Amino acid sequence: MSFDNVYEAITEENDARWAFGTGFEDPLSGVDTSVPPGVDAASLAAYCLMLGDDALIFSHRLQEWCTNAPELEDEVALANIALDLLGQARLLLARAGKADGSSRTEDALAFLRAENEFRNVRLAELGGGHFGHLIARLFVFSTWRLALFQRLETSVDPVLAAIADKGVKELTYHRDYAAQWLVRLGDGTPLSHARMQEGLDDVWPYVGELFRTHPVEFVDAASLRPEFDAVLDQALSAATLSRPSSGELAGVSGRTGRDGVHTESFGYLLAELQSVARAMPDARW
C-alpha cells in the first residue's frame, strides 16, 4: 500500500501498526525515516527515546491495574489507555533506532537496556497506592503529554509530527477519562475526597520534573506549564480539591529520570518488564 506522505502512512484509519502483537516486525515499515536536513540525528533519537520511555513505562504501570480497578468497565478503559501508550512507545522507540543509525528495534530498546539507560520521567514509573493515586498520576501525565504532543504536531521531523498527530487523539481521551474520575472522587464522599487529595499530594513532588528544560528539546518544556496549570486549576475547582503545596523532589545532584536517575521501585519494574525477553532472547510468538 502506498501513501503520498508519512502522515497518511501513520494516521490512516484502522492502521494495523497501532495494534500490538499483529505480527509485523517494524512499526515504521514503509515510512521514510530519513532525518530531515538541518535536524541533528542524535538529538532527534535522544528526544524520541525519552518520549518513548515515558509511554512504555507508564503503560506497564497501567496494566498492573487489570483485575484491580473498581469496575470491569474501568479495567477495560485502563487496558485500552495502556495499549494506546504502548503503540506510541513502539513508534517512538523505532524512530529513535532509525534516527541514530543503530537500527535497534523497539524490542531491543525496551528489553535490552539497563536501568540507568532509560530516560523516562519518574512520574511514569510510580506505582502502588490506591485508585486515587492512579487517577492523580494519569491526570497529571496525560494533561502534560497532551500539551506536549499538540506542539509536536508541527515538528520539523515529519515522522515525529505524525506520531504526535495520532497521539493527540488518544491523549485527549486519556485526560478526559482521568478528569472525570478526579471530579467524581474529589466531589464525592468525604472518604473519596480525602483519597483523591492524598493521591495528588503524593504525586505532586514529581510534577516539576515535567517542565524542566533539557539540553535536548524539540519543544520547550517550560512553555507547557501555563496550559497545564490552567487545566489543573479548572479540574481542581470542579473537584473541590486543593492544589498541593509540597515542593519538587530533586534527583541525585539535581539529576532526574531524563538523566537516568530513577526511583527505588524502577529496578523491580524493569525486572518484570524484561524478564521473558532476557530469559529467552530471540524468541518469537
Residue ranges of alpha helices (H) inside the chain are 6-11, 41-63, 72-99, 106-111, 131-152, 158-186, 190-203, 225-239, 266-279
In a domain, 15, yes or no: no
Q: What is the pLDDT of residue 281?
A: 78
Q: Can you give the residue range of the structural domain that contains 260?
A: 39-244+256-279
| CA max distance for the chain | 57
pLDDT in tens, the chain (285 residues): 444 555 555 555 554 444 333 445 677 877 888 899 999 999 999 999 999 999 999 999 999 988 888 888 888 999 999 999 999 999 999 999 999 888 888 988 999 999 999 999 999 999 989 999 999 999 999 999 999 999 999 999 999 999 999 999 999 999 999 999 999 999 999 999 999 999 999 999 999 999 999 999 999 999 999 999 999 999 999 999 999 986 666 555 578 999 999 999 999 999 998 888 888 877 765
The count of C-alpha atoms lying within 13 angstroms of the C-alpha of 92, restricted to the half-sphere facing its C-beta, is 29
Please state the domain count of the chain.
1
What is the model's pLDDT at position 285?
A: 59
Tally of CB atoms within 10 A around 112: 14
Kindly state whether residue 34 falls inside one of the protein's structural domains.
no
pLDDT at 104: 87
In this prediction, residue 20 carries a pLDDT of 39
Q: Is 16 exposed, middle or buried (0-12, 13-18, 19+ CB in 10 A)?
A: exposed
Residue 4 falls inside a structural domain: no
Q: Read off the CATH number of the domain in which 181 is found.
A: 1.20.1260.10
Three-class HEC string of 28-40: CCCCCCCCCCCCC
What Cα–Cα distance (Å) separates residue 48 from each residue in 20, 53, 200, 227? 19, 8, 28, 22
- Give the pLDDT confidence score for residue 18 in this predicted structure: 41
- Phi-psi region at 284: left, alpha or beta (left = phi > 0; alpha = psi -120 to 50): beta
Cα–Cα distance, 140 to 144 (Å, whole number)? 6
Please answer whether residues 97 and 103 qualify as being in contact, where contact means their C-beta atoms are separated by less than 8 angstroms: yes
* HEC assignment per residue over 182-249: HHHHHCCCHHHHHHHHHHHHHHHHHCHHHHCCCCCCCCCHHHHHHHHHHHHHHHHHHHCCCCCCCCCC
Within a domain: 230:
yes
- State residue 240's pLDDT score: 97
pLDDT, residue 25, reads 66
User: Is residue 23 domain-resident?
Assistant: no
DSSP annotation of 259 reads G
Looking at residue 21, what is its pLDDT?
Answer: 39
Q: Return the closest-CA partner of residue 85 out of 155, 177, 158, 3.
A: 177
pLDDT at site 33: 84
Residue 107 lies in a domain: yes
Q: Is 17 part of a structural domain of the chain?
A: no
